[in-house]
């Protein structure tokens, strides 16, 4: 991959693997799982949905990751108006344990527990951080428009040792980056582990989702194909670098990327405006 533009084009498109779909309900947890057709010792990522959102709105991203060789799963729990973040985070860890501990695909698919990641959108990002703070040997954490939650994921950020990527939405009126993603990222940096914060141009809070849902009216936002496209590429590159040691994706994991510049969360607003 010659540069960021080339890498965006490659990694936003499906990878070389055919994909199988599974139902987490078979192990007692509602949700969905996507895997390559076969492979042993694969990397895995578990994804947490945002407030009121069905896991189905993230199927495009999960399937995409599976085409690039990842086992990708999302529990469909705690979708009510007052979800328990503690229990949601526990469900994410349970899902990850299932991925690591159960032979999938008629025994032809297994996960390497040392190559795992937690990710999420909105409150699901917060729950993923709570889970990550409790998980040893985690390879990476990814958040999309992360919300601050209770228990505090800002406090959890200080306990996470894994490399972390935060993607904020530039036009997010629901959880503006200045009050959510930036203090979350700053807490991680203060704890001295690798943290990146990028802001996606022209992205709204639900831009990371696919399809239509009644909450589009509540959030006053909707799915955005361009936001999902750059998100697919950035998330895939970050996970490939940190879970499978793929160096060819560095154009998307280092320095500014068109449409997704790096942000220093420790700068005040005056310094950012001068930049």
| CATH code, domain with 153 | 3.40.50.1820
User: How far is CA 178 from its chain centroid?
Assistant: 19
The pLDDT of residue 26 is: 73
Quote the DSSP letter at residue 104.
Answer: B
Determine the average pLDDT of the residues in 200-216: 96
**From CA 34, how far away is CA 20, in angstroms rounded?**
6
Whether the Cβ atoms of residue 158 and residue 190 lie closer than 8 Å to each other: yes
- With vertex at residue 240, the alpha carbon angle to CA 234 and CA 244, rounded to the nearest 5 degrees, is 170
Cα–Cα separations (whole angstroms), residue 215 to 73, 142, 273: 23, 23, 33
User: Side by side, which strands form the sheet with 195-200?
Assistant: 19-23, 31-36, 71-75, 39-48, 109-121, 140-144, 164-169, 195-200
Cα–Cα distance, 143 to 70 (Å, whole number)? 17
At residue 269, the pLDDT reads 56
**Average pLDDT of 220-249?**
96
Write the pLDDT tens digit of every residue in 35-76.
Answer: 999 999 999 999 999 999 999 999 999 999 999 999 999 999
pTM: 0.95
Amino acid 104: pLDDT: 80
- Can you give the residue range of the structural domain that contains 189? 4-274
Whether residue 271 is predicted with pLDDT greater than 60 in this model: the reply is: no
Cβ contact 183:154 at 8 Å:
yes
Residues 240-254 pLDDT 10s: 999 999 999 999 999
Count of the separate structural domains present in the chain: 1
């Amino acid at each position: 991959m010659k540069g960021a533009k080339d890498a965006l084009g490659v990694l936003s498109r499906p990878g070389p693997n055919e994909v199988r779909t599974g139902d987490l309900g078979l192990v007692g947890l509602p949700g969905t799982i996507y895997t390559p057709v076969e492979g042993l010792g694969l990397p895995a990522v578990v994804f947490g949905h945002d407030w009121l959102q069905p896991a189905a709105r993230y199927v495009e991203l999960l399937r995409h990751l599976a085409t690039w060789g990842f086992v990708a799963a999302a529990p469909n729990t705690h979708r009510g108006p007052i979800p328990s973040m503690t229990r949601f985070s526990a469900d994410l860890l349970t899902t990850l344990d299932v991925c690591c501990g159960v032979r999938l695909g008629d025994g032809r698919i297994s996960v390497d527990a040392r190559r795992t990641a937690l990710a999420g959108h909105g409150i699901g990002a917060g729950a993923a951080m709570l889970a990550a703070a409790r998980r040893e040997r985690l390879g990476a954490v990814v958040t999309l428009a992360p919300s601050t939650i209770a228990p505090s994921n800002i406090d959890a950020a200080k306990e996470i040792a894994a490399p972390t990527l935060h993607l904020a939405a530039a036009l997010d009126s629901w959880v503006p980056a200045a009050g959510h993603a930036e203090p979350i990222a700053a807490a991680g940096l203060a704890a001295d582990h690798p943290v990146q914060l990028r802001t996606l141009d022209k992205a709204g809070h639900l831009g990371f989702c696919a399809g239509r849902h009644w909450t589009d009216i509540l959030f006053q936002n909707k799915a955005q194909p361009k936001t999902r496209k750059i998100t697919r590429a950035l998330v895939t590159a970050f996970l490939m670098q940190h879970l499978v040691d793929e160096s060819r994706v560095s154009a998307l994991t280092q320095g500014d990327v068109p449409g997704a510049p790096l942000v220093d969360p420790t700068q005040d607003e005056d310094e950012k405006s001068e930049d």
